[in-house]
Amino acid sequence: MSEDAGEHITAIETPVYLKYNFTAGQATTRFLQQVRQGKLVGQRRPECDCGNVYVPARGSCAACGLPTTEEVELGDKATVQSFTIVWIPIPNNPIQPPYIVANLVPDGANISFIHLMSECDNDSVHIGQRVEAVWKPEEEWDYAMDNIRYFRPLDEPDVPIEMIGKVPLAGWEGEA
C-alpha cells in the first residue's frame, strides 16, 4: 500500500444490539414457581432406571432424553461437589473478591447447581463439605435463584467423594 493511501485501518466498530423475550421453559417455570415459595424442588422421570433428580430441571431426564414429570422436594442442605475461589472483580457484580463459587448437590438430588458460599474461611472450603442455604427474608423472594443469598458451612461430617450426588433427602449422618 502506498504512503498516501491514508490511515491503515486495522479494525472497525459495529456494535450489535438485539432484543429478546426470554422464556424459561415449562419445567424451569415449575421450578421457579417453587423457588418463589422458598422451596428447592427437583424433577425426575419416575419410569427411568437412572432415577436421577435434576435441579433446576430443564425439562428432560438428560440421561434418557424423556420428560421429567414428577416433582421431588429437596432440602436446604447440600454437599460441595467442586468449588473455586474467584480473585478477579467481575464487572457489574457487587460481590467483592475473593469469594467462593461452588457446584452444590442438594440432599435428595443427583445433579449439582452453581451457587455462592459465604460465612466460611475460604481456605478451608473443600469437596465433600456440608453446607446449608441462607435464604433472603421472605418479602424479598422472587422467581430467582438469588432468593438464596449463599450457602454456609454446616458442622457435619464430610461426604466421601463417591457418595456426592447420592445423599438422600434425610441427609447425611456420617459414615455408617
Partner 1 sequence: MKDIAVVSFAQSDCRRDAGACNEVELIMPVIEQALQEVGLRNSQDVDFTCSGSCDYQQGAAFAFVMGVDALGAVPPIKESHVEMDAAWALYESMLKITMGQAESALIYGFGKSSPGELPTVLSQQLDPYYLAPLWVDSVSLAALQARVLLDRGIISEQDMAAVVSRSRANAKANNPHAQLAGDVSVEELLAEAEWVAPLRKHDCCPISDGASAMVIATVERARSWGRPFAVIKGIDHRMESHNIGARDLARSASTELAAEKAGVANGAVEVAELYAPFSHQEIILSRALGLDDSTEINPSGGVLAGNLMMASGLSRIGEVARHIMNGDIRRGVAHATSGPCLQHNLVAVLEAA
Give the total residue count for the chain: 176
Residue 59 or 128 with smaller CB distance to partner 1: 59
- Which grid coordinates belong to 34? 417453587
Residue 11 or 170 with smaller CB distance to partner 1: 11
* Residue 64 binds to partner 1 (criterion: CB under 8 A): yes
In this chain, which stretch among 12-20, 69-77, 94-102, 122-130 interacts with partner 1, using CB under 8 A?
A: 12-20
User: Looking at the DSSP assignment, which residues form a beta bridge with residue 103?
Assistant: 82, 114
Q: How many residues bind partner 1 (CB under 8 A)?
A: 26
* Residue 25 binds to partner 1 (criterion: CB under 8 A): yes
* Residue 29 binds to partner 1 (criterion: CB under 8 A): yes
In this chain, which stretch among 20-28, 102-110, 148-156, 162-170 interacts with partner 1, using CB under 8 A?
A: 20-28
Handedness of CA 89, 131, 29, 64 (dihedral sign): positive
Where are the alpha helices (H) located in the chain, listed in sequence order? 26-36
Nearest alpha carbon to residue 100 among 64, 171, 150, 40: 150
In this chain, which stretch among 27-35, 125-133, 143-151, 156-164 interacts with partner 1, using CB under 8 A?
A: 27-35
Residue 64 or 134 with smaller CB distance to partner 1: 64
Report the distance separating Cα 168 and Cα 159, nearest Å: 12
Nearest alpha carbon to residue 148 among 134, 163, 127: 134
Site residues for partner 1 per CB under 8 A: 12, 14, 16, 18-29, 50, 58-67
